[in-house]
Structure formats: structure tokens, C-alpha cells
Amino acid sequence: MGTVFSRVLQKKIDSKKTWNEIAKEAHIGLSSWMCGVPYAHPKDEELKKIAPVLNTTFEWLKNGEGK
């Protein structure tokens, strides 16, 4: 199933958007977790805002469940 970062990264690649574009559309700031820093993790609030930008659900990004 992978990590939260790997699921976000997969959807990022599918969307062909940059981290800057995703952050801007989600109205969040760029964060170190977006670079795959192993000790940095996205907050649930960030995932909830990113999910629609990446055409998926919070549940899938967080836990790999659903779409």
C-alpha cells in the first residue's frame, strides 16, 4: 500500500502538477514532507485540502482506502 507520501506522490505524478501548483490550488504552504523527508509528515488538514486537487479522497491519501 505504501506510505502517505508515496500515495500523494503517485497522484502528483498522475496529475502532472508541480508541488507549487498543488500547494497553491490547495491553499497550503510548501512543506518539507513534499520532498520526501522521512521524519516530516503531512497534517490531516493538508491532506484534506490536497485530495480534491489530486482528484482523490482524504481516506485514500491517508490510509490507502477507497479511491
pLDDT at 62: 94
pLDDT at 52 over 80: yes
| Spatial distance between the Cα atoms of 56 and 39, rounded to a whole number of angstroms | 24
- Cβ-contact 31, 40 below 8 angstroms: yes
26: Cα separation from own chain's centroid:
10
Q: How much is the average pLDDT of 18-29?
A: 96
| Spatial distance between the Cα atoms of 51 and 67, rounded to a whole number of angstroms | 10
Cell numbers for 42, please give them: 503531512
